[in-house]
Amino acid sequence: MTERTLRQQVVLITGGSRGIGRAIALRLAYEQPAHMVIGYSMNHQAARRTVNEIQALGVPAFAISTDVGKSELMRDLFDQVRQRCGRLDILISNAARTTFRPSMELDDRSWQRVMDMNARAFLLGSQLAAELMREHGGGRIVGISSLGSRYVAPGYAALGAAKAVMETMARYLAVELAPWGINVNVVCGGFIDTDSMRLAPDYKQLTEYIVNRTPIHRLGKPEDLAGVVAFLCSPDSDWIRGQTLVADGGFSLSL
Amino acid sequence: MDRLTNRVAIVTGASRGIGAAIALAFAAEGAAVVVNYLSRKEDAETVVAEIQRQGGRAIAFQADVTDESAVRRLVRTAAQQFARIDILIANAGIVRDQLIAAMTLEQWETVIQSHLRGAFLCIREVLPTMMAQKSGNIIALSSIAADHAGRGHANYVAAKGGINALTRSLAVELAPKGIRVNAVSPGVILTDMTKRVRNLANDEILAQIPLRRFGEPRDVARAVCFLASDEASYITGEVLHVTGGFGL
């Protein structure tokens, strides 16, 4: 795209310092928004590096350390966006965290934590974002989901359930926030090759299995999702509401 | 607007409505377009003239997509004229609404044939070219009607359900050849095809669309442009709903 679709707009990306969030940040920075805010949890160095990369593209940016699972910190994050940028036009709800356990080993605490950090974070982020967005006639909210919402992957029960909540909430929010001029959609990725995925003990075996079963015959890259997010942040997607777009190279088609 | 520079696209049923909007949007993105039509020669030539007026490349070509030899001529002409075929939009299709008890075999078959046989013939015909290029992009037009039941158009619903299944299976079959296959599923769009249903139940339908308006053909065309672009390079086998929230 040659036209810059995000001029004058303020973008907030949670979990924006690394991996998929970073790729989304850099892709959206190309659209020259007025300001970009990166939410991150603890990797200060990565956050600083990503902010520098965004600034190198000519876009003012800063990072805020937060915990999307804590309501008061989420409120503080959006307060800071309001104070420092004056508005919010785009929220990318990308931060995700889980504890990989079989369902029988999910105790109260770990279940609640995964729900707080993924499902409630999407709801609360959307609520806080919508309040800011309606002041300037609307905005866009994009959630990042994964195939675990609809298929079984080892140890993925809690996060899969939380992602299913996100996809369902996107439908309700899309209908309920349409009168405010706010568009809500979700991008659902397959296995995406990121730093955190490379830490998996069975990485080599796992990725071989996935590549062999992916019709496009390669692993997903963070950029594969970033392009889809950019589309959902552009006016080209105005008529697309409450949808979950699957970008998985065809992997799930024959599951 | 240069996401499709140097690409060549065939759009079936492109003389008006969604097909025409796709042809115009593709040209605006830099693609050369074959504007296929069945009977509306003047409308097709108007689309071509509009593309040329904006500096784009296009030709109009008459072909009945259910006619095997006509489809062969359509594809051969596209390849000869523009040297390659990157994108096929299987858009042509008709409606013959009727309650099932009163539906004639002719009403059933003409609808199924225009959508399914038409898509099959066009897809099969472009494959040798796309396979030789080791790249290609096929997008079929489905409908929200495939997922949300309504009365009086079972033939159309069955055809569009078939399009969704065809899309998924061909995505798997053709991915190794570098060909992506997706579908776009519009809601109620302001076209001649939906005029009758809009006249019958205008307010009732509007009340079910969160955005409180009918879609414009260009709303669908912009989603098709995205799927045809490199930004969607990891999306295949997907049925993208473009409905303004209708059906949620």
pLDDT in tens, A181-240: 999 999 999 999 998 788 877 889 989 999 999 999 999 999 999 999 999 999 999 999
Residue A2 pLDDT? 47
- Alpha carbon distance B135, B60 (integer Å): 24
Residue A196 pLDDT? 78
Residue A198 pLDDT? 84
For chain B, the average pLDDT equals 96
Place of tokens 């159309």: B156
Summarised one tens digit per residue, pLDDT across range B9-30 is: 999 999 999 999 999 999 999 9
Tell me the whole-structure pTM to 2 decimals.
Answer: 0.92
Q: Which amino acid is at B53?
A: R
CA angle at A83 for the pair A81 and A85, rounded to the nearest 5°:
55
Q: Which of A156, A172, A204, A221 is catalytic?
A: A156
Q: Report A:206-245 residues touching B (Cβ under 8 A).
A: 214-217, 220-221, 224-225, 227-228, 230-231, 235-243, 245
- Alpha carbon distance A6, A79 (integer Å): 22
At B179 the three-state DSSP class reads: strand
Residue B233 pLDDT? 96
Q: Are A239 and B215 in contact (CB under 8 A)?
A: yes
CA angle at A160 for the pair A182 and A141, rounded to the nearest 5°:
10
Note if A156 is an active site residue: yes
Closest-CA residue in chain A for B211?
A: A178
Buried/exposed code over A26-62 (b: 16+ C-beta within 10 A; e: otherwise): bbbbbbbbbbbbbbbbeeeebbeebbeebeeeebebb
Using a CB-CB cut-off of 8 Å, the residues of chain B touching A245 are 235, 238, 240
Q: Rounded mean pLDDT of B170-181?
A: 97
Give the residue ranges of chain A where pLDDT is below 50. 1-2
C-beta atoms surrounding A202 within 10 Å: 10
Residues across chain B: 248
At A186 the three-state DSSP class reads: strand
Least confident of B40-54, B151-165, B194-208: B194-208
The radius of gyration of chain B's CA atoms, rounded to the nearest angstrom, is 17
Q: Does the beta carbon of B2 lie under 8 angstroms from any beta carbon of chain A?
A: yes
Q: Does the beta carbon of B245 lie under 8 angstroms from any beta carbon of chain A?
A: yes
